[in-house]
Chains A and B, each alone.
Chain A
């Protein structure tokens, strides 16, 4: 029962922080809530025994990606109430968003209340909680998934080159357009 209470607390906080991310007007505050969101998800992963992924989540997501977001937000010097935010969320989009959220909330309440809701997954299967999650993950990564791992390094290299090329001072297509 104790783990269930922890899960519900974390889940409520995750949903709250996610709603903050998409509703706040200030981009910096929104990014800070995204960091909180990622930390809470890391706590959920750690609760499920995925220690290494929880660490990676904090290091890469909260430590690198969101910091990159914050860097760009401050580089662009974005201020709320700017002219591009005037038409923020037309009536159609807002109605769609509210309707979709209400639909999913109702669906999840129904799913949580119905005792019949059970997937084909055998969730009583004991997980190997022997504390060597990182070791097992490393073995799997370098034996079974060696090719995808090497390809992901190539992907990162491509992303580096592409980012530098796109964000260069003078875009290469500028001369042709004008």
Chain B
């Protein structure tokens, strides 16, 4: 049986890759995909902890996280389409209306 710490370290690396993608990429689609990567890292932690503790609560949490991720992707991609229609670009550098 694989020790639970291995899964935590893997989730740490995966989450960091997601953060780096979020910061480095300028394209909104890539930003959303990085968020999905980070959510998956959290799911991995939940399932590993659920196995280690011998309870099912972590798996239930993953179920809800997947639900929220689906909603987030749907609304986020709708916003991407709307922004592209309105401004003709979805690069985060060009979308600075809220920057003040």
Interface on A for B, CB 8 Å cutoff? 3-4, 7, 11, 14-15, 18-19, 21-22, 27, 30-31, 34, 37-38, 41, 44-45, 47-50, 52-53, 56-57, 60-61, 64-66, 68-69, 72-73, 75-76, 78, 83-85, 87-89, 93-94, 96-97, 100-101, 104-105, 107-108, 111-112, 117-119, 121-123, 125-128, 133, 136-137, 140-141, 144-145, 148, 152, 155-156, 158-160, 162-164, 166-167, 171, 174
- Chain B residue, CB-CB nearest to A22: B21
Minimum CB–CB distance for A164 against chain B, Å? 8
- Chain A residue, CB-CB nearest to B10: A11
Q: Which residues of B contact A126 (CB under 8 A)?
A: 54
Interface on B for A, CB 8 Å cutoff? 1-10, 12-14, 16-21, 23-27, 29-30, 32-34, 36-37, 40, 43-44, 47-54, 56-57, 59-60, 62-64, 66-71, 73-75, 77-82, 84-86, 89-91, 93-94
- Cross-chain contact B24 with A89 (CB below 8 angstroms): yes
Q: List 18 A-B contacts (CB under 8 A).
A: A11-B10, A21-B17, A65-B70, A72-B29, A88-B26, A89-B25, A96-B20, A104-B13, A104-B16, A112-B9, A123-B5, A128-B54, A133-B59, A141-B60, A166-B78, A166-B82, A167-B79, A167-B82
- Number of A-B pairs, beta carbon distance below 8 Å: 223
- Cross-chain contact B70 with A156 (CB below 8 angstroms): yes
Majority secondary structure, A binding face: helix
Q: Which residues of B contact A112 (CB under 8 A)?
A: 6, 9
